[in-house]
Amino acid sequence: MGVESNEPLTPAGRLFVQPSTEQIINCVLGLDHPVGPELTRSVILNSLVIKHPRFTSLLVKDKKGREYWQKIELDVDRHIIFVPDPINNNNDKDRDDNKDDDETAVNDYIADLTVSSPLSYDKPLWEVHILASHKCVVMRLHHALGDGVSLFSLMLTMCRKVSDGDKMPVVEPLVSSSRNDHRREHLASRFLKLLKMMWFTLIYMFEFCLRTLWVRDKETDIRGGAGVELWPRKLVTAKFSLDDMKMVKNAVVNTTINDVLFGVISFGISRYLETNSTKPLQEGLRITGAAIVNLRPSPGLQDLTELMKGKSRSRWGNKFGMMLLPVYYHKKSSDPLQYLKRAKMMIDRKKLSLEAFLSYKIGYIIMKCFGAKFASYLNYRIICNTSFTISNVVGPKDEFTIGGVPVTYIRTTSSSLAHAITMHMVSYAGKADMQILVAKDLIPHPEKLAKCFEDALLEMKEAALKLRGDLPSKLP
């Protein structure tokens, strides 16, 4: 089949097939009971996966080295990997005594995948691993197939609500209650807002360029660097209650769940470094994160069939930007909500700017003008000069089934980066699980870091309750 009859790889997709920035998404679905290859195969064959051009095509190159998707006859059995026996990592000396529980075993399995198990290019770039003994499936999806929102939407088409087996689960974005305030703004306020947008955009894009070239975070116990993406990994899960996050959100006016998440990260990292740092740290030390920002409208999750139509195919793919989000090391204070207030102030300014949009557009232009290798090099530099990655995906609030089997949790992580810490959070049915992938030679006990994040939210919740008057000022 000639190149002309196939779809070329998008510029953003080309970034994810470069060696230094290749990314594979590992999404875990916890199940109520084990499943086998037969049920998995049946679900896939009755889903939109086998109709989607990206999931039924090889990624190949022409004589000029340009990548494109070549349609093939899909062999579903090549994409299903059945692991019937319990996962056992007795050779890992760093593990604690309670190693045989399902969560630890699954996290160990995925941690190995993030470093040493790329997807084979002799078949479409996705796999489903069935971990029968641990009651879960792992969906491995190459990032060149699409961004998190597109891929998550495809997964939801295979699911049905527990409460209504005929309906697909829906995603309702968690937004602040003051979304319509801008309608009442006076002309002077809008003009001032425009000036702020221009100013913050200028400042943040200038910083973005400096980070690409030479400015980097100072050395800490949690900063990685060039080559760290090849180091062995450990994976742990921090678990949060959305009700707790909403309670903290309501303690500060016009705060969002993302503000709370970043306040928890800021507080948790400070707590971890205060008790585990091997070197003295200066108060107010900056630790910079790279945040992935979705630029695709959320309603697109419910309109997947439109995304897959020939006339709408341009909307499918990778459409996200990047923002640099700094946290600052502070010794434990008497008011945990200060971390939230600082996070909200910073994120409000970031959202007012065009940093995420311009990072996407400039990256697109660089890719078109200078090629994928140069764009990959610049992205790699940004990762090397910052300290962690963070992303957040809003999942369905209602429980759902897949193939008739209730799903108990959703967790996701990606291939290892030059960061020592990579964090991906997904919310589902009132819970939010954050997968924390670390370079274990730098952070040998990531469970301590996860505990710091969990405790940070609980302390912020306690402070919010005190603010409401629901708790005494001094607890026993």
**Out of 236-250, 331-345, 401-415, 420-434, which region has the weakest mean confidence (pLDDT)?**
331-345
Indicate if the pLDDT at residue 99 is higher than 80: no
More confident residue, 360 or 2: 360
Indicate if the pLDDT at residue 206 is higher than 80: yes
Residues 6+ apart with CB under 8 A from 184: none
- What was the pLDDT predicted at 425? 95
The domains found in the chain, sorted by start residue, are 3-171+182-468 (3.30.559.30)
Q: How confident is the model at residue 297 (pLDDT cuts 50, 70, 90)?
A: low
Indicate if the pLDDT at residue 461 is higher than 90: yes
Work out the average pLDDT over 68-79.
92
Q: How confident is the model at residue 168 (pLDDT cuts 50, 70, 90)?
A: confident
Q: What is the 8-class DSSP label of residue 183?
A: G
Indicate if the pLDDT at residue 96 is higher than 50: no
* Closest to 220 in 3D by CA, of 374, 75, 420, 468: 420
Indicate if the pLDDT at residue 307 is higher than 70: no
The DSSP annotation for 407-437 comes to EEEEEEEES--SSSEEEEEEEETTEEEEEEE
The set of catalytic residues is 143
**Out of 73-77, 150-154, 289-293, 298-302, which region has the weakest mean confidence (pLDDT)?**
298-302
Q: What is the pTM of this model?
A: 0.90
* Closest to 413 in 3D by CA, of 238, 273, 173: 238
pLDDT tens-digit map of 312-363: 444 566 778 899 999 999 987 778 999 999 999 999 999 999 999 999 999 8
| Residue 404 backbone class (left: φ over 0; alpha: ψ -120 to 50; beta: rest) | left
Q: How confident is the model at residue 308 (pLDDT cuts 50, 70, 90)?
A: low
Summary mean pLDDT of the chain: 86
Angle between helices 355-370 and 187-213 (to 10 degrees): 50
Indicate if the pLDDT at residue 309 is higher than 70: no
Give the position of tokens 């400042």. Answer: 203
Q: What does each C-alpha distance from 49 to 99, 175, 351, 414, 471 come to in angstroms?
A: 35, 31, 34, 21, 51
Indicate if the pLDDT at residue 311 is higher than 50: no
The DSSP annotation for 277-310 comes to -SS---TT-EEEEEEEEE-S-GGGGG-HHHHTSG
Work out the average pLDDT over 302-317.
52
Kindly list the strands in the beta sheet with 67-71, ordered across the sheet, starting from the edge strand earlier in the chain: 7-8, 67-71, 57-61
